[in-house]
Amino acid sequence: MRGKSYLFLAFKSFFHKKINIINAFLLIICTLLIIFSCSFFKTFYTFLSNSSTGNLSYRTLRVSSDYSVIDKKWLEEIDGVSYVISEDEYRLTVKTNNDEYINLYGVPNDFIKVNKGELLTDDEVIICPETFYLGLEPENYNKEFVSKLHDGSNYLGEIFTFIINEHELDYTVVGIFDNDKYTYGEYNTCFTSITNMHKLIETELENCEGCYISEDSNVYVIVDHVNDKDEIAKKIGSKYSVDEIIQINTPTITFILSTFLAVTAIILIFVFIILFILTKKFMTYNKESNLIYKAMGYSNKVLVRVNYLENLILVVFSFIISMIIVIIIYFILLNKYNADIKTGINIYISYLSIFGSFTACLLISLLSTRFALKDKKKSIIEELDDCEI
C-alpha cells in the first residue's frame, strides 16, 4: 500500500471521529501553555542577562573608604577592571531648558563605542542612545513614555541646554550608541567625559550650603564583565569596604527560573496522562471502524500505520491552530506592548519553545498511544486481532 493511501485513510479516519476534537482541544491548550511558559522563561532570562551585561549599573562596584587614602592606581591595575571613577565624576541627573531630564554618566572618552557620529572629547559634548527618551521628572519616568520615544540619530548635532544651579550650559550630541550594550532598560541616559562630569558636579555644588563631596566619599569601579564582579569584589574587599550598586539575587533568580521549568515539565506530564487515558478509550471507540477496514481487506500492519498517522495529523493540526493563536496574540497584544509601552523588558516568543512544544506533543502523543495500546501487555496487533469479522 502506498504512502498516499495510508495518509488518505488517516485523514478520513481523523475527521470522522468526534473524539479527535477533544484530543485536539487538549493538545492546543497544552501547546499554548508550553509556548507561553517557555517564552516567559526566555523573556525573564533575557532581561536579566541583558541587564547584567549591558547596563553599567550592574557592572559597578562602590568602594567606600577615606577618599584621600584610596589607591585608585591599585584598583585600576586589578585584572578585569575597565576604569575607576570618583564620586564627583560618576553620575548626575540634569534638567534641560525644556523641563526635561537626562541622566549623565562620566566615562573615559574611548569607553563607549558609537554607532554613528564621534567619540567623546573633553569639549562640551555628550553621546546618547539610539532609542532616546527625553524624560519628565524622574518620579514620573513612565508617564507619556510612548510620545517621548525618539530615534537618537535625529539628535546628532542637537544642543541641549542644561540648567544647573542657575547656570545654563550648552552640550552638543556628537554620537549615538547602542542602548543594549551600555544602558539596557534606560532610554534617557547619556554619557560625557569624566572631565566634563567633574565640572558639572562642581557647578551643581557651587554656592550650595551643605552640599559637598566629603573626604569619606565613594570611588566607583566598573568591571569588564558582570561575571567577574564577585571575584573582583573579593580582591578589593581585602583592602577596602566594597558593595554593589545593583545586586543580582542569584538564589531568587534560580528559584524563579526553576519554577518555570518545573511548570513546563508538569504540563508535559499532564498532557501524557490525559492522552494516555483518552487513547485507551479511543481504542475501544475505534474497534468498530477497525472491523469495517478489516472487512475491506486491510491488514493489521496497515491499520497500525494508519493509527499512528492519525496521531501525527492530530498533533500537526493542533500545532497549526496553536501557532495561529500565538501569532495573533503576539502581533496584536505583545508586539504592541513591546513597541508602545517600553519598560526595559521586551517580550519574546521563544522559537525553541515552539519547536520544543511541537516535538514534545508529538512524542507524547505517539508514546501515550503506544503505551495505551500495550496496556495489559497487549500489543497493537493483538488489539486489532480482537476485532473479529
Domain for residue 373, yes or no?
yes
Last residue of a domain, one of 183, 218, 239: 239
Domain for residue 246, yes or no?
no
Burial group, residue 345, by CB count within 10 angstroms (0-12, 13-18, 19+): middle
pLDDT at 186: 80
Rounded average pLDDT over 251-278: 72
Last residue of a domain, one of 239, 262, 291: 239
The answer on 314 and 284 residing in a single domain is: yes
The answer on 294 and 222 residing in a single domain is: no
The answer on 109 and 17 residing in a single domain is: no
For the chain, what is the mean pLDDT? 76
Residue keyed to cell 549615538: 176
The answer on 210 and 83 residing in a single domain is: yes
Domain for residue 324, yes or no?
yes
pLDDT tens digits, 285-304: 555 666 666 666 666 666 66
Domain for residue 132, yes or no?
yes
The answer on 232 and 102 residing in a single domain is: yes
Q: In sequence order, what DSSP letters do the residues of 35-77 get, joined into one string?
A: HHHHHHHHHHHHHHHHHHHHBGGGGEEEEES-GGG--HHHHHT
Rounded average pLDDT over 271-277: 69
The answer on 110 and 30 residing in a single domain is: no
**Segments forming the whole domain that contains residue 321:** 3-52+251-385
From the CB of residue 188, how many other CB atoms can be counted at a distance below 10 Å?
21
Domain for residue 156, yes or no?
yes
The answer on 347 and 298 residing in a single domain is: yes
Rounded average pLDDT over 257-265: 76
pLDDT at 85 over 70: yes
pLDDT at 146: 47
The answer on 275 and 208 residing in a single domain is: no
Total domains in the chain come to 2
The answer on 194 and 121 residing in a single domain is: yes
pLDDT tens digits, 12-44: 666 666 667 777 787 788 778 777 777 777 777
pLDDT tens digits, 192-246: 999 999 999 888 887 666 555 555 568 899 998 888 888 999 999 988 888 887 6
29 bridge partner residues: none
How far is the C-alpha of 140 from the C-alpha of 152, rounded, in Å?
Answer: 21
The answer on 138 and 70 residing in a single domain is: yes
How far is the C-alpha of 299 from the C-alpha of 41, rounded, in Å?
Answer: 47
Strands 131-133 and 149-151: antiparallel
pLDDT at 112 over 70: yes
The answer on 332 and 234 residing in a single domain is: no
The answer on 256 and 176 residing in a single domain is: no
Rg (CA), the chain: 31
Last residue of a domain, one of 192, 214, 239: 239
Which is more confident, 55 or 113?
Answer: 113
The DSSP secondary-structure symbol of 216 reads T
Answer whether 199's CB lies under 8 Å from 88's CB. Answer: no
pLDDT at 282: 59
pLDDT tens digits, 315-374: 778 778 888 888 787 777 666 655 544 445 566 666 666 776 677 767 766 676 666 555
Domain for residue 58, yes or no?
no
Domain for residue 59, yes or no?
no
